[in-house]
């Protein structure tokens, strides 16, 4: 029923359908490229990237989970796999035994460096380079606005 808060107006619906389609398809494109060229998930890539740019190439698990936008549980599984591949190491923090600190290894770092250009090129090809500078700015505002609602307390 149009006009009712219970439903979406035509314009609203059209926008939502476009966004929904984007949410379904864009992750697939990114994962496909990374998987094919580097055997990495987008999430795994973010984990390695998050470690590589941290001081000491190390980061505690919760922090890393926040950075990579995933749950701690998910991260734990993923880091275990990355550890088995020799890309990451884990050890408890000295001052607090509850905390686990993950560190990217040299081979993990090399692997990331090898994977990065292809990933960046894909991000450029499908997102950055198809939008105007104005649209990029708009997109950032829009995404941040929604994220503030979805995930209050991060960023801000």
Residues in the site for DNA, rule: CB under 7 A? Answer: 28, 32, 35, 41, 43, 60-62, 70-81, 90, 92, 96-100
Does residue 61 belong to the site contacting its own copies (CB under 8 A)?
no
Q: How many other C-beta atoms are found inside a 10 Å radius of the C-beta of residue 141?
A: 10
Q: 29 touches which of DNA, its own copies, none (CB within 5 to 8 A by kind)? A: its own copies
Q: Which residues contact 48 (CB under 8 A, 6 or more apart)?
A: 40, 82, 87, 88, 104, 108, 109, 111, 112, 115
By CB under 8 A, residue 19 contacts its own copies: yes
Out of 10, 11, 94, 153, which residue is the one contacting its own copies (CB under 8 A)? Answer: 11
Q: Which does 81 bind (CB under 5 to 8 A by kind): its own copies, DNA, none?
A: DNA
Q: Which is nearer to DNA, 49 or 99 (CB)?
A: 99
Q: Which positions lie near its own copies, rule CB under 8 A?
A: 1-3, 5-8, 11-12, 14-16, 18-27, 29, 42-43, 46, 68-70, 117, 120-121, 123-131, 133, 135-151, 155
């Amino acid at each position: 029923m149009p006009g009712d808060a219970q439903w979406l107006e035509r314009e609203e619906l059209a926008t939502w359908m476009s966004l929904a389609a984007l949410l379904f398809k864009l992750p697939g494109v990114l994962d496909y490229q990374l998987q094919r060229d580097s055997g990495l998930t987008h999430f795994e890539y973010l984990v390695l990237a998050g470690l590589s740019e941290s001081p000491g190439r190390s980061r505690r698990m919760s922090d890393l989970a926040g950075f990579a936008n995933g749950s701690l549980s998910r991260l734990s599984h993923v880091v275990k796999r990355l550890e088995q591949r020799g890309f990451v190491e884990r050890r408890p923090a000295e001052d607090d035994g509850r905390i686990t600190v993950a560190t990217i290894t040299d081979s993990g770092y090399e692997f990331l460096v090898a994977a990065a250009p292809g990933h960046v090129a894909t991000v450029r090809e499908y997102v950055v380079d198809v939008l105007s500078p104005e649209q990029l700015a708009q997109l950032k505002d829009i995404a941040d606005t929604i994220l503030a609602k979805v995930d209050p307390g991060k960023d801000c």
